[in-house]
Amino acid sequence: EAQVTQNPRYLITVTGKKLTVTCSQNMNHEYMSWYRQDPGLGLRQIYYSMNVEVTDKGDVPEGYKVSRKEKRNFPLILESPSPNQTSLYFCASSRRLAGGDSYEQYFGPGTRLTVT
Amino acid sequence: GENVEQHPSTLSVQEGDSAVIKCTYSDSASNYFPWYKQELGKGPQLIIDIRSNVGEKKDQRIAVTLNKTAKHFSLHITETQPEDSAVYFCAARANAGGTSYGKLTFGQGTILTVHP
């Protein structure tokens, strides 16, 4: 089954304690990204990766790090979490469909993070 | 950077009626416009997309129209059903460095409720 998995699904942590949210896809997609979803703001892109070892900043990268050492994994790292990073986080992967104008894209189920 | 505005924020319709959600974008370089449906507790799901060389695209009960000159695009759902109730997001993407995987900017979302 084609899917994007995220772990953990729920996390409560304290300010300053480093954490990593993992993301994995089994579809051999080149493109992966991370978003945060906040009420009234929609989804905002944090980082994206166009392939292994190729990453770039999205609209809200401050306070986050990513790495893409393998095609299937794209972890999100919060070196020193703060309360304003309390949010719902989504990982997504996609690829452009050959010969067409559409993208095959999947979002993970989300990780709800609370930083106290 | 790109800015995407989405209206309305909430939309309530009777089953069988049509629903229209509108988005405007600011970056004339944007050339890919996807729409997502997000059900409660799940990640967004791509439902339809359109590229800037096409004015309209239809898939069964949903259609998307694009006015590149005015920089706005709309989602049309006909013969709505209760299972169409969800949050809908529009998004816009521009090319980045010759690839099609540039930044993806989302609208704020529309909560659609279809009453039986």
Give residue A59's Cα distance to chain centre.
13
> Cβ separation of B101 and A43 shorter than 8 Å?
no
Q: Do B43 and A110 touch (CB under 8 A)?
A: yes
Distance from C-alpha of A34 to C-alpha of A43, rounded to nearest angstrom:
10
Q: Which residue of B has its CA nearest to A51?
A: B101
Q: Which tens digits make up the pLDDT trace of A69-95?
A: 999 999 999 999 999 999 999 999 988
CA distance A36 to A113: 10
Is pLDDT of B76 > 90? Answer: yes
A contact test, residue of B42, B58, B104 with most A CBs within 10 A: B104
On the 0-12 / 13-18 / 19+ scale of CB atoms within 10 A, B33 is buried
Alpha carbons within 13 A on the beta-carbon side of B31: 11
Residue A102, pLDDT score: 66
- Distance, CA of B65 to CA of B52 (rounded, Å): 10
Q: Which residues of B touch A90 (CB under 8 A)?
A: 43-44
**CA nearest to A47 within chain B:** B103
pLDDT band at A2 (very low <50, low <70, confident <90, very high): confident
Residue with tokens 């989504």: A90
> Is a pLDDT exceeding 90 seen at residue A67?
yes
Alpha-carbon span B94 to B96, nearest angstrom: 6
Q: Which residues of B touch A33 (CB under 8 A)?
A: 104
